[in-house]
Amino acid sequence: MSGKDAVGVTKSGNPSAGTSAHAISDNSSPIVSTRRTGIIRIPDEGEGESSDAPFLPVSSFLIPPQYQDAVSHVLIPHGLIQDRVHKLAFDINQEYADKTLHLLCVLKGGSSFFWELQTALINLSSHRRTNTAKFQFSFDFVRVKSYEGTESTGKVQITGTDMKNLRGRHLLLVEDLIDSGLTMSQLVPYIEKNAAPASVRVAALMEKRTHRSCGFKADYVAFDIPDLFVVGYSLDYNEAFRDMLHICVINELGIEKFKTNA
């Protein structure tokens, strides 16, 4: 790989102690867990045996003109995201086969992943052959914010959802990225305390390999990524890049160009 100006994240998010999402708490039917399986590991640049992993140059993809010089390379193309999300949807459909699932989209970063996942779940339920059980889902949104630019403020603001609506439900939080884990390690206990759901699990599109991690692990994960600041597919830097299909790595020029975008 040659994305040598890619931006890594260096500041500490000051996360609290390790937390993980809780398992389903009722015993209505035995299920074979497919959680945390099939995670695709995106290697670090020049990493050991994986050093021949394909470098995906910006010029090989359709990228909005204003972003072409602001990212060093494509990390995860949209097509690969879609394929992985379809598999996660299949696993979720199987595991919650006899339950009504309540998806909780964590805005704003989780929105593209959420729409892709819920479309895949609808498609699965619509196929007679896979629709052997009584899988159903409903959904809601929660706004959670802690980052400014590329750094966590250390304060997680949770707004925009009535906790009463989540009471007694099987919740699946749909989140774009576990970075330090601060956001999820605060959101999950907050919901458990204020909403008393039947169960809470977390589906994350990506988990970052970072020394800043507080140890939080999601239940369903599509990609395991290097410690780089990623943008696109609803992930932002100062609100820029959310309108880019592929997940890319921001570069120094991008950091400068969109510094005052908010």
Q: Which of 52, 162, 179, 243 is catalytic?
A: 179
Any contact of residue 236 with ligand PRP (CB under 6 A)? yes
Q: Which of 114, 229, 233, 258 binds ligand HPA (CB under 6 A)?
A: 229
Residue 174 β-bridge partners: 105, 203
Looking at the Cβ atoms of 100 and 157, the one nearer to ligand HPA is: 157
Q: Give residue for tokens 């970063």.
A: 109
**CA 48 to CA 173: how far, in whole Å?**
34
User: By CB under 6 A, is residue 181 in contact with ligand PRP?
Assistant: yes
Instruction: Give the residue at shortest CB distance from ligand HPA.
Output: 179
Shorter beta-carbon distance to ligand PRP: residue 111 or 251: 111
Structure tokens at 199: 């169960």
Q: Which of residues 103-162 bind ligand PRP (CB under 6 A)?
A: 106, 108-109, 144-147, 152
Contact flag: residue 176 with ligand PRP (CB under 6 A)? yes
Q: Which is nearer to ligand HPA, 93 or 213 (CB)?
A: 213
Residues 40-99 that bind ligand HPA (CB under 6 A): none
Scanning 54-62, 73-81, 120-128, 181-189 for contacts with ligand PRP by CB under 6 A, the matching segment is: 181-189
Q: Rule CB under 6 A: choose which of 80, 92, 177, 205 binds ligand HPA.
A: 177
DSSP labels, 88-146:
HHHHHHHHTTTSEEEEEEEETTTHHHHHHHHHHHHHHHHSTTT--S--EEEEEEEEEEE
Output the CA torsion 241→146→153→211 (10° steps).
-80
Instruction: Assess 147 for contact with ligand HPA (CB under 6 A).
Output: yes
- Least distance CB 28 / ligand PRP (angstroms): 31
Q: How many other CB atoms are found less than 10 A from the CB of residue 176?
A: 24
What is the amino acid identity at position 182?
L
Sign of CA dihedral 251, 180, 87, 242: negative
CA 11 to chain centre: 20
Q: Which does 197 bind (CB under 5 to 8 A by kind): ligand HPA, ligand PRP, none?
A: none
Residues belonging to the active site: 179
